[in-house]
Amino acid sequence: MPLLEVKNVSFSYVKNKQTLKDVSFSVEKGEFLAIIGHNGSGKSTLAKLLNGLLKPNSGEIIVDGYSSSDKNAVFEIRKRVGMVFQNPDNQLIASIVEDDIAFGPENLGLPREEIGKRIDFALKAVGMQDFRKATPERLSGGQKQRIAIAGVLALMPQVLVLDESTAMLDPEGRKEIAEVVDNLREKGVAVIAITHYMEEAVKADKILVLDRGEIALSGTPKEVFAKKSELDALNLELPLAGIIADKLRARGLNIADDVVSDAELAGALWKLL
Ligand SMILES: Nc1ncnc2c1ncn2[C@@H]1O[C@H](COP(=O)(O)OP(=O)(O)OP(=O)(O)O)[C@@H](O)[C@H]1O
Ligand SMILES: [Mg+2]
């Protein structure tokens, strides 16, 4: 059984206008799913459905055996699916990093000692052990966002949903978050990242492309980025390495059709040398 299963989910905010239409997919333990798609395609709505902030009009979301159809399960689902949003400044509340991370576990009523352990765990998971007593305001964007992630990790979720959590970060900050994602997957935490950056999506195990509330494309990054005309029609780009590969190919260089990641491009160029 997958860790998270979305089964034929539809959702509307208002009558006669479906925001999500018959969406189905699943995520395994430690898996990394990227969700891409245009503004207004329903990505954030889907994120809110995943952790029980919204409820499907039809269909069902099952997390670790708990179904969104079961009223009593919402709390269990929320505990298992953590969410991090775009702006870290809106997510940090305390004036000292450790207090910020303690906030969630304190609300769960956990004992002091356990809270301390969770702060250690969460800071280590995001590589911010040395910033326990720091003031969030003084940190860089990437560091702030890592603290926001740590705050969610302190609740020990099984799925972490990042809703454009790198959108406000510089390339260095985005790299920091990518490292956190790698580390979490090794720990068995599933990551669902909504992103406008194809460089992030290409690192995922699977990609879901939403278009006007429907899944337009899905598959491995290789499968999805191979559908160039479909992506074009959706006004979505290839990752930078794919764009460069296309340009070099157009100039007559012998580069395989399916090069989409940095590593593949480097490999293809190496071969040509
Ligand atoms: N609270 C709401 N009430 C009514 N309509 C909403 C609400 N929130 C979002 N919508 C509409 O639902 C649709 C999907 O919005 P959503 O925020 O899920 O898209 P998105 O893919 O996350 O977009 P973006 O890339 O801009 O973040 C849009 O048409 C939006 O206007
Ligand atoms: Mg959104």
Each residue's pLDDT tens digit, 92-134: 999 999 999 999 999 999 999 999 999 999 999 999 999 999 9
Averaged over 30-54, what is the pLDDT? 97
Question: Can you say whether the dihedral through the CA atoms of 180, 182, 188, 193 is positive or negative?
Answer: positive
Two structure tokens written together for 135: 């003031």
Domain range list for the chain: 4-221
Averaged over 49-62, what is the pLDDT? 96
Average pLDDT, the chain: 95
Probe ligand 1: pick from 9, 14, 16, 45, max atoms within 8 Å of CB? 45
Distance between Cα 44 and ligand 2 center (Å):
4
Q: Using alpha carbons, select from 237, 241, 240 the residue that is nearest to residue 256.
A: 241
Q: Using alpha carbons, select from 174, 94, 96 the residue that is nearest to residue 140.
A: 174
17 lines ligand 1 (CB under 6 A): no
Distance between Cα 50 and ligand 1 center (Å):
15
Q: For residue 57, give the DSSP letter.
A: S
Distance between Cα 46 and ligand 1 center (Å):
10
* Torsion angle in degrees (nearest 10) through CA of 169, 192, 205, 18: -110
Distance between Cα 218 and ligand 1 center (Å):
21
Query: Ligand 1: which residue has its CA nearest to atom 3?
Result: 13
Averaged over 231-245, what is the pLDDT? 95
Averaged over 152-167, what is the pLDDT? 96
pLDDT tops 90 at residue 273: no
Condensed to tens digits (0 to 9), the pLDDT of residues 195-211 reads 999 999 999 999 999 99
Averaged over 143-150, what is the pLDDT? 96
21 lines ligand 1 (CB under 6 A): no
13 lines ligand 1 (CB under 6 A): yes
CATH code matching the domain that covers 4-221, chosen among 3.10.20.740, 3.20.20.70, 3.40.50.300, 3.40.50.720: 3.40.50.300
- Percent helix, strand, coil in the chain (nearest 5)? 45, 20, 35
**Rounded alpha-carbon distances, angstroms, from residue 224 to 78, 144, 231:** 30, 32, 8
User: What span, in angstroms and rounded, lies between the C-alpha atoms of 82 and 102?
Assistant: 15
Probe ligand 1: pick from 10, 12, 13, max atoms within 8 Å of CB? 13
Probe ligand 1: pick from 21, 35, 41, max atoms within 8 Å of CB? 41
What ligand 1 atom has the least distance to the C-alpha of 42? 18
Q: Using alpha carbons, select from 174, 154, 171, 194 the residue that is nearest to residue 45.
A: 194
Query: Do 29 and 3 form a contact (C-beta atoms < 8 A)?
Result: yes
First to last CA, the chain: 46
| Phi (first) and psi of residue 230, to 5 degrees | -65, -45
Query: Ligand 1: which residue has its CA nearest to atom 17?
Result: 44
39 lines ligand 1 (CB under 6 A): yes
pLDDT at position 27: 98
